[in-house]
Amino acid sequence: MTPALRELEALFPRGLLRQPGELVAYESDALTAFRARPLAVVLPESHEEVAAAVRWCQKHRIPYVARGSGTSLSGGSLPVEGGLVIGLNRMNKLLRLDPKERIAVVQPGFINLQVSLAAAPYSLYYAPDPSSQPVSTIGGNLAFNSGGAHCLKYGMTSNHVLGARVVLPDGETALLGSESLEGIGPDWLGLFVGSEGLLGIATEVTLRLLPRPEAYHTVLAAYDTLEKAGEAVAAVVASGLLPGAMEIMDSLAIEAAEAAVGAGYPREARALLIVELEGETPQVEAEARHLERVIRDSGAYEVRVAQSEAERMKIWKGRKAAFSAVGRLSPDYIVQDGVVPRSKLGQALAEIERLSERYGLRVANVFHAGDGNLHPLILYNGRVAGELERAEELAGEILKLCVALGGSITGEHGVGMEKRAYMPVMFTPADLEAMRRIRRAIDPLELANRGKMFPGSEAKPLSHGPHPLEKAGVIARE
């Protein structure tokens, strides 16, 4: 063992993982196309331990990644080959919940859904609801600015994080934001949220809680074409309504969701639209009448309204399980996360269908229609030679399409490992250079989550060869 590792062992007498059987489990997050073996994993239990781990990395120039539940779909929590994984899932406490001020202060390993469960007795909840919410941690949500089904109306994680205590890449501590919804001076916290772990590690996060809406009105409409469902969304928007969520699933996604959770969706539908109104009862009742007219005129052949909370949850369960459920249809898949302007949805879907045919790969579509966030799921079989490459190429085509239509390469999954090559499609060299300058100002050695977000970085994720530091004799893995 090298002196550096002995030092690390002294810092983490419990909570240091070094054995192959331990490290294997950390090689991937939810994007298994990428794997990298870390040098070690540490499981800190306090802010001070996180700072100690970061300072150790700084001292020995070892790159690192902070990891929560490892549910990133962009490879954001993929280890840096030969680097350190700082696993934060043991820092999973709710530190404070103040129902009067409507805030919750949590450690980064606290699970998203648990925030709402803890707040439920006060009729409050935490709004961002990524599909991974029963699993994903607030720390990871913060790093990747997670979204969910309700972003049009309520925004993303960034809009619900008020403050954070962070360990900067030099090991120092910074407090960003406050408990107020307002701020004075540049919004440093706004920059930090969504920075994909490149600017530091949050160890305490102050979240804003919202009052739980008094009433929900959830409508499930079935269509015989995807276009009609897309047009229905445009019609809802044009009517001046502002639903909390509008979601569309195509037939392949319906099939998967039905197989997984038996949500009771009309199986033969070519497209399903979920629209959810929420708010004060008299207002929702009035809006529901307007919505009914809009949906009726949109050519839906079947319309269901959830009559109880149980029915509502069932509708959502199918939608939320849809991604993982696709595992039932195909051994492998790539989830994409592009965004297009809502008015270009139809065009984008038609183009994706064309690409799907051209590449000979099935594509299931699940998307947040209200905010134009597409989630094409590209199905492939990794055991068939060349299919992964074809799938990746198809995914790239879809991303370029999204940018060409005026959108974004990622709505909520982040750039991570997966989409860094497409950053230049969306940003000019000057844009990327400005971001890089910020990154280097905070982390001159580029140790924090090295190899993510920026194109052409140094990490080689698919190889298992010796780390450059290993070759140089700085580290060893005996």
Partner 1 sequence: MQHRIDPEKIGPQGEVMAHAIEACVHCGFCLPACPTYQVLGEEMDSPRGRIFLMKEVLEGNLSLEEAQPYIDKCLGCLGCVTACPSGVPYGELITSFRAYSEPKRWRSPFQKVFRLGLQETLPYPARFRAAAVLGRLARPLKPLLPPALRAPLELLPEALPPTKPLPALTPAEGPRRSRVALLAGCAQQVLQPGFNWATLRVLARNGVEVVVPQNQVCCGALALHTGERARALHLARKNLEAFAGDYDTILTNAAGCGSGLKEYPLLFRGEPEQDQAQRLAEKVKDISVFLVELGLKEVPPLPHPLRVAYHDACHLAHAQGVRNEPRQLLRSIPGVELVEIPEGELCCGSAGTYNLEQPHIAAALGERKARNILATGAQAVVTGNIGCFAQIEAHLKKLGRPIPVLHTIELLDRAYTGQAPVPAAPADP
Partner 2 sequence: MSSLRPTHPKEVQEAVRSHPRLLPRGGGSKPALSTPRERQVALELIGLSGVLEYNPGEYVVVARAGTPLSELEALLKAHGQYLPFDPPFARQGATLGGTVAAGLSGPMRNRYGGVRDFILGVEFVDGLGNLVRGGGKVVKNAAGFDLPKLMVGSLGRLGVLTELAFKVFPYPKATATLEVAFPNLGEALEALYRLAASPIELYALDLVPPSRLVLRLGGLPEALSPRLERLERFLNQQGERLQGEAEEAYWEGVNDLGRLGEGYLVKVALTPRRIPTLEARLGAAPRRYMSAGHLLYLAWNEPLEALDEALRAEGLPGLVLRGVVANPRIGLNLEGPFGLKVTAALDPQGRFERYAAPN
If binding is defined by CB under 8 A, does position 26 make contact with partner 1?
yes
* Residue choice 165, 312, 342, 375 for contact with partner 2 (CB under 8 A): 342
Q: Where in 207-226 is the site for partner 2 (CB under 8 A)? A: 211-214
- Outline where 77-172 has alpha helix (H): 112-119, 138-144, 151-154
Distance (Å, whole) CA 143 – CA 201: 8
Q: Select the binding partner of residue 195 from partner 1, partner 2, none (C-beta < 5 to 8 A, by kind).
A: partner 2
Closest to partner 2 by CB, 172 vs 357, is 172
Question: In this chain, which stretch among 24-32, 60-68, 128-136, 194-202 interacts with partner 2, using CB under 8 A?
Answer: 194-202
If binding is defined by CB under 8 A, does position 25 make contact with partner 2?
no
Q: Where in 434-473 is the site for partner 1 (CB under 8 A)? A: none
* Residue choice 81, 250, 255, 371 for contact with partner 2 (CB under 8 A): 371
Say which residues have a Cβ less than 8 Å from residue 178's Cβ, sequence separation at least 6: 162, 163, 206
Q: Which secondary-structure segment (H or E) carries 298?
A: none
Distance (Å, whole) CA 405 – CA 425: 12
If binding is defined by CB under 8 A, does position 89 make contact with partner 1?
yes
CA angle 263, 267, 272 (to 5 degrees): 80
If binding is defined by CB under 8 A, does position 94 make contact with partner 1?
no
Closest to partner 1 by CB, 35 vs 102, is 35
Draw the binding track, 388-417, toward partner 1 (x: CB under 8 A; -: no contact): x-----------------------------
List the structure tokens of 31: 């994007």
Closest to partner 1 by CB, 29 vs 287, is 29
- Phi first, then psi: give them for residue 355, nearest 5 degrees: -65, -40
Q: Are strands 84-87 and 64-67 parallel, antiparallel or unpaired?
A: parallel
If binding is defined by CB under 8 A, does position 273 make contact with partner 2?
no
* Residue choice 191, 234, 261, 474 for contact with partner 1 (CB under 8 A): 261
* Residue choice 238, 307, 385, 478 for contact with partner 2 (CB under 8 A): 238
Say how many C-beta atoms besides its own lie within 10 A of residue 267's C-beta. Answer: 11
* Residue choice 183, 299, 327, 424 for contact with partner 1 (CB under 8 A): 327
Question: In this chain, which stretch among 46-54, 79-87, 184-192, 377-385 interacts with partner 2, using CB under 8 A?
Answer: 184-192
Closest distance to partner 2 from the beta carbon of 224 (Å): 24
Closest distance to partner 1 from the beta carbon of 416 (Å): 15
- Phi first, then psi: give them for residue 445, nearest 5 degrees: -85, -5
Closest distance to partner 2 from the beta carbon of 65 (Å): 18
Q: Where in 436-455 is the site for partner 2 (CB under 8 A)? A: 437-442, 453
Q: Select the binding partner of residue 414 from partner 2, partner 1, none (C-beta < 5 to 8 A, by kind).
A: partner 2
Of residues 214, 218, 206, 217, the one with CA closest to residue 124: 214
Q: Are 254 and 262 in contact (CB under 8 A)?
A: no
If binding is defined by CB under 8 A, does position 155 make contact with partner 1?
no
Draw the binding track, 36-65, toward partner 1 (x: CB under 8 A; -: no contact): -----x-x----------------------
Q: What 3-state DSSP class applies to 408? A: strand
Q: What 3-state DSSP class applies to 221? A: strand
Q: Where in 119-138 is the site for partner 2 (CB under 8 A)? A: 122-124
Q: Which secondary-structure segment (H or E) carries 223?
A: strand 215-223
Please spell the DSSP secondary structure of 333-365, one letter per residue.
EEE---B--GGGHHHHHHHHHHHHHHHT--EEE
Closest to partner 2 by CB, 87 vs 372, is 372
Distance (Å, whole) CA 31 – CA 442: 28
Please spell the DSSP secondary structure of 154-184, one letter per residue.
H--GGGGEEEEEEE-TTS-EEEEE-SSS--S
Distance (Å, whole) CA 254 – CA 225: 13
Binding-site ranges for partner 1 (CB under 8 A):
17, 19-22, 24-32, 41, 43, 69-71, 87, 89-90, 92, 111, 132, 134-136, 259-261, 321, 323-328, 331-333, 382-383, 388
